[in-house]
Structure 1
Amino acid sequence: MRIEMEENQNTLTKQPSIAPLLAVNFVGTLGFSIVTPFLVVLVSQWGGNAVVYGILAATYSFFQLFGAPVLGKMSDRTGRRRVLLLSQLGTLASWGIFLLAFALPGTILLNVQSKWLGDFVVTLPLLVLFAARAADGLTGGNVSVSNAYLADITSEQDRAKNFGRMAVSSNLGFVLGPALAGLLGATVLGPVLPVSAAFAISAAALVLMRFGLSETTPRAITEPLENPTACDLYGQEHRSAYEIQHRQANGFWVILKLPNMTALLAINFLVMLGFSFFYVAFPVHAVQGLGWTVPQIGTYFAVLSLAMIVVQGPILSRVSDRFEDRQLMGVGGLALAVGFAMLLSGSVVVIYFSAMLVALGNGLMWPTFMAVLSQAGGDELQGAVQGFAQSAGAIASIVGLVAGGVLYVSFGAWLFPIAAMVIIASAALASTYQVPPQNLPAT
């Protein structure tokens, strides 16, 4: 008995710490959210407009479509730790390239005057900024590979608790990032200080990973690795960087034949499209239409993220047992649409009230939708459904970010009602959702 207890103690002692993984997850979301408040300001200063900003916002996701699958397969073959180090090193390098842009002269490389694209110039710092986001996208599998690493080292009884900690670390990044950007961006150094802070935090995470992580034996992933959070629509990670069982074994047409699947994939695409319109339009509108500064934009996004967390936590847990999934998705979609439409107002009070509606709508609709999507695939097709949904979301995000920039040149703040109509279409589809017979509760 004593020998068995000693072996169990040794096993517990040798279990890798999840602290480095929490740091990676936190840094991934922090790095993304710390850029949001002032990125549009830099794009404008370096010659760009809404179209350029939309393309820049889509650059990370576009390059991640190529880099994430390669990193995922590499992590299955060579181990998670090596890929995590490589991915984090790429993130660190991207912040270094970002900092380099501040030191370069504003040399004009291209001058564009277009009816549809507007007037803008491509300068040397702007080009380097694109290179930084592309480099981060190519190596941007650190969050999802860290989830796979956690699945490798976590026992069944600790899985929910540890992935809950991962969700908390992501949420902290989304709240602290914009707030930190607002505080640091208000100094005489301007945006240089927030980027320097992101570089330093990434370097610290790399050191922590180098000396705090041990290698694991990869195992097949057959289920979603963590519950969706209300801030997922802000996230960069659109595709998983690890292999999911059954993903390649089942074709697209097989998935479409599942009950409700056509409508669910359409809802996924429309929500990501509408939210991408908002993501592109609001920072540009805040600077050009409302005259907001970086601290004001940072405060707004911090409040929005915090409100999303509150809705997705205590509020959703209370209403999820009292209302049907289609009711939560429909009401959430309508609240989100009204919140987007109210952004036309020039009143700060109304705009902050719209943030509450956006948080309420997204917090009710998105986690509920992800739960419904997960149930629709069942145990056998779970991975395939998640894979196709993530790919559709990535395409919608890229299309929405680029198209949103183009549309903003022509329609300005009226892009917000357009986004609202897209969300209303998704809410209408959600209202038609019917629980499949096999998922009905027993009576």
Structure 2
Amino acid sequence: MPKDQNGSPVFGLLPLLPILSVNFVGTLGFSIVLPFMVFLVAKWGGNAIIFGALASTYSAFQLIGAPFLGRWSDRIGRRRVLLISQLGTLLSWVIFLAAFFLPADALFEVDSGILGQFTLTLPLVILFAARAADGLTGGNVSVANAYLADITDEEHRAENFGRMAMSTNAGFILGPALAGILGATIYGEVLPVIAALLISVFAALLIAFGLKESRQQLLDYKPGMPNACKIFGQETKEGYKLSGCDETPAGDIMKIPQMPAMLAVNFLVMLGFSFFYVAFPTHSAIGLDWTVTDTGTFFAFLSLLMVLVQGPLLSALSKWVPDKTLVVTGSLILGGGFALLIWNQWAFVYSAGALIALGNGLMWPTFMAMLSKQAGDQLQGAVQGLASSMGAAASIAGLIGGGLLYTWVGSWVFVFSAVTILITAALTTVISRQIAPPSTFSAKSKSDGKS
């Protein structure tokens, strides 16, 4: 049974509420600008490819920052790194807000058969800078997952990762709804960005004052100096730092049994979803002729269904159905949902949304639980950081590639999402049914023959 920093047993929903709240608030701040981002890019001169490049900017800088933040959280604690990450997000919203007050004069124009037509303006450049600032400190997801793993026992791991996904999707329900309400005022898109900034301030305060550290800190020194206890004849025990716990090279992580296959699944899922996330907002505006409200309503519908699946449904199924079966079945359903999006009728689009919610709700939290279980106790931050880094690489490829593919083939880009997800279902079948965590010592310590 995991214990908190005071040595007390952790069980039930109550100890999860602080990290679930942090995750919910962070998602709310992001999702509140999601419905109108593509319209804002178009307003400032961009097209689908620029929108994809903008979305991939976050992932590109997360690729740099996430592994360091994950390993850092193993050393100095999850709470400190979460706070640093949230402060980076706060800075990014300040930069984002500044873009509204700059002239949208053309810096240069592009008219290409491959890239299409777009105009690069100063607000677009500032928008890219904002996403870069957020991405560089964007290890909050991986560190939050590591925090959850610290306080979760084996029996409730899939259930609790489902709750984490529920908090994410609850943010995605409320965010687009608030965007529709705030965006309809005379202040337009500025008010939702101000709201996102204020939400980020609240999230930082919540981490600073409402979140306890989940890990015992390793000593950086040998406390052998004379102290009052020794003077008065009291026995003291010396503390030692475990060899190999500071730095865990990616090569050592890949030596963990079945980790390469699991990280490949992580990469492919992120790739398939990135095709969807960049193409669907553009498709809703161009192919479906939807308004901001229509797009926000669809994402709210999608997120609401995910909450229902990742909550009561997954909680019940995880007690009876093996993790591997849930991941494979969810992947097959998810791939079918993406395939339905090639038809532009509302009935097909909302049916696709229902299948996407069901498939992702079963597959993704369960897979994250499997990944967490395989990482063990000492390598949670390092493994989650590497997974985030590989996910960021997939997002870069998917977001840029998705924009290009939508420009070339339209809604058929969703077939690429479907095929990618179906490959993950096949790959998951090679992962052993029983996932055993590695030793709490690092691979380096094992190779050295030391404990």
TM category, shorter: 0.7 to 0.9
Give the counterpart of 1:412 among 388, 410, 413. 410
Aligned to 1:219: 216
Q: Unpaired runs of 5+ in structure 2? A: 1-5, 7-14, 219-243, 438-451
Q: For the Cα contact (< 8 Å) 2:373–2:436, is it kept in 1? A: no
Q: Distance in 1 between matches of 2:256 and 2:205?
A: 48
**Relative to 1, partners in 2 of residues 1:289 and 1:389: Cα closer, same or farther, differing over 3 Å?**
same
Q: How does 1:292-441 map to 2 (within 5 A)?
A: 292-377=290-375, 385-436=383-434
Aligned to 1:186: 184
Q: For the Cα contact (< 8 Å) 1:255–1:385, is it kept in 2? A: no
Aligned to 1:36: 34
Q: Distance in 2 between matches of 1:379 and 1:256?
A: 16
Query: Could you give the per-residue CA deviations for residues 152-178 of structure 1, whole angstroms, max 9, x where no partner exists?
Result: 9x799xx99999986664343222112
Q: CA deviation at 1:348?
A: 1.2
Greater mean alpha carbon deviation, residues 260-269 or residues 286-295: 260-269
Q: Distance in 2 between matches of 1:268 and 1:143?
A: 14
Q: For the Cα contact (< 8 Å) 2:63–2:390, is it kept in 1? A: no
Q: Distance in 2 between matches of 1:267 and 1:183?
A: 38
TM norm structure 1:
0.76
Q: CA deviation at 1:48?
A: 0.9
Aligned to 1:292, the other structure's residue is in SS state coil
**Relative to 1, partners in 2 of residues 1:336 and 1:437: Cα closer, same or farther, differing over 3 Å?**
closer
**Relative to 1, partners in 2 of residues 1:87 and 1:418: Cα closer, same or farther, differing over 3 Å?**
closer
Q: CA deviation at 1:319?
A: 2.9
Matched, 1:139 2:160: no
**Relative to 1, partners in 2 of residues 1:204 and 1:367: Cα closer, same or farther, differing over 3 Å?**
closer
Q: How does 1:150-189 map to 2 (within 5 A)?
A: 169-189=167-187
TM norm structure 2:
0.75
Aligned to 2:185, the other structure's residue is in SS state coil
Q: For the Cα contact (< 8 Å) 1:58–1:397, is it kept in 2? A: yes
Aligned to 1:371, the other structure's residue is in SS state helix
Aligned to 1:252: 251
Aligned to 2:448: none
Q: For the Cα contact (< 8 Å) 1:332–1:361, is it kept in 2? A: yes
Aligned to 2:12: none
Q: CA deviation at 1:369?
A: 2.2
User: Which amino acid is 2:326 matched to?
Assistant: L
Q: For the Cα contact (< 8 Å) 2:66–2:385, is it kept in 1? A: no
Aligned to 2:111, the other structure's residue is in SS state strand
Q: Distance in 2 between matches of 1:350 and 1:410?
A: 22
The count of aligned residue pairs is 397
User: Could you say which structure has the higher helix fraction?
Assistant: 1
User: Which amino acid is 2:336 matched to?
Assistant: V
Q: CA deviation at 1:289?
A: 0.8
Q: Distance in 1 between matches of 2:33 and 2:420?
A: 26
Q: Distance in 2 between matches of 1:90 and 1:389?
A: 20
Q: Distance in 1 between matches of 2:381 and 2:200?
A: 31
Q: CA deviation at 1:252?
A: 2.6
Q: CA deviation at 1:424?
A: 1.3
**Relative to 1, partners in 2 of residues 1:108 and 1:168: Cα closer, same or farther, differing over 3 Å?**
same
Aligned to 1:112: 110
User: Which amino acid is 1:50 matched to?
Assistant: A
Q: CA deviation at 1:191?
A: 1.5
Query: Could you give the per-residue CA deviations for residues 324-374 of structure 1, whole angstroms, max 9, x where no partner exists?
Result: 444322221121111111111111122111101001111122222223334
User: Which amino acid is 2:251 matched to?
Assistant: F
**Relative to 1, partners in 2 of residues 1:133 and 1:383: Cα closer, same or farther, differing over 3 Å?**
closer
**Relative to 1, partners in 2 of residues 1:108 and 1:188: Cα closer, same or farther, differing over 3 Å?**
same
Q: Distance in 2 between matches of 1:311 and 1:206?
A: 29
**Relative to 1, partners in 2 of residues 1:357 and 1:409: Cα closer, same or farther, differing over 3 Å?**
same
Query: Could you give the per-residue CA deviations for residues 162-199 of structure 1, whole angstroms, max 9, x where no partner exists?
Result: 99986664343222112211222233332222112112
Greater mean alpha carbon deviation, residues 130-139 or residues 120-129: 130-139
Aligned to 1:110, the other structure's residue is in SS state strand
